[in-house]
Amino acid sequence: MIKALIWDIGGVLIEDPKYKEFWKGIPESEELRIKFGMREIDTEEFIRQGANLINLSEKEFLEEYKKAYWTGERNINVIRIFQNNKLRNYIFSDTNPIHLQYLEKIGKDLFERAEKIFTDKRKKYSNSYKEILKIIKLKPEEVLFIDNKEKYIQLAREQKINGIVYKNNLQLKEELLKFELDF
């Protein structure tokens, strides 16, 4: 029996931002983005290095970066499910500190509805799923993880956590019904 839902933000609750276009043609950015996402470098260092990569001032870089990342719209149909289901809701996102500011602004109600928000763990590490289960004190079979990336759902399933790869609103509803969830 499912007792909790763990939700991804970008690409599920909020549409994916346009960050790929921002970094297009700058292959060196991948290492920088990984370091920032893993919290190996702080925000100031990320801005400094990013500005150097793109040849902008730090102020210009931050403005352009925010424009590219702060474009995701709320997915109202999925948010209704998030808000109306009777289960415990958690958010698990690999978002970085700059993007998190935007998400907290447009998704304040989501953050308030979630019992806990995990942005300090990385989805690409199977240990993160184990740690989350320990924190929320549930068995893997009692949890359903919803993400738009197959690779993360696969990692969750390797830990015996149920998973749905989000593709669209109708598909999500159909998949949730298979788990006999009331939303």
The string of DSSP codes covering 103-142 is HHHHTHHHHHHSSEEE-SS-TT-HHHHHHHHHHHT--GGG
The per-residue pLDDT for 95 is: 80
CA distance 95 to 17: 11
The per-residue pLDDT for 169 is: 93
Helix or strand (DSSP H, E) at 13: none
Closest among 78, 143, 151, 153 to 116, alpha carbons compared: 143
Beta strand 162-165 pairing with 4-7? unpaired
The per-residue pLDDT for 36 is: 87
Residues 6+ apart with CB under 8 A from 170: none
pLDDT tens, N- to C-terminus, the chain (183 residues): 999 999 998 889 988 766 677 888 898 898 998 888 778 899 999 999 999 999 999 999 998 888 776 666 788 999 999 999 999 999 998 887 787 777 777 788 888 999 998 888 889 899 999 999 999 999 999 999 999 999 999 999 999 999 999 999 999 999 999 999 877
The per-residue pLDDT for 107 is: 80
CA distance 142 to 133: 10
Residue 39 amino acid letter: R
The per-residue pLDDT for 141 is: 98
The per-residue pLDDT for 10 is: 85
Residue 171 amino acid letter: Q
Q: Where are the domains of the chain?
A: 4-14+73-178, 19-69
Helix or strand (DSSP H, E) at 18: none
**In CATH terms, is domain 4-14+73-178 a member of 1.10.3720.10?**
no
- Which residues on adjacent β-strands are paired with residue 117? 91
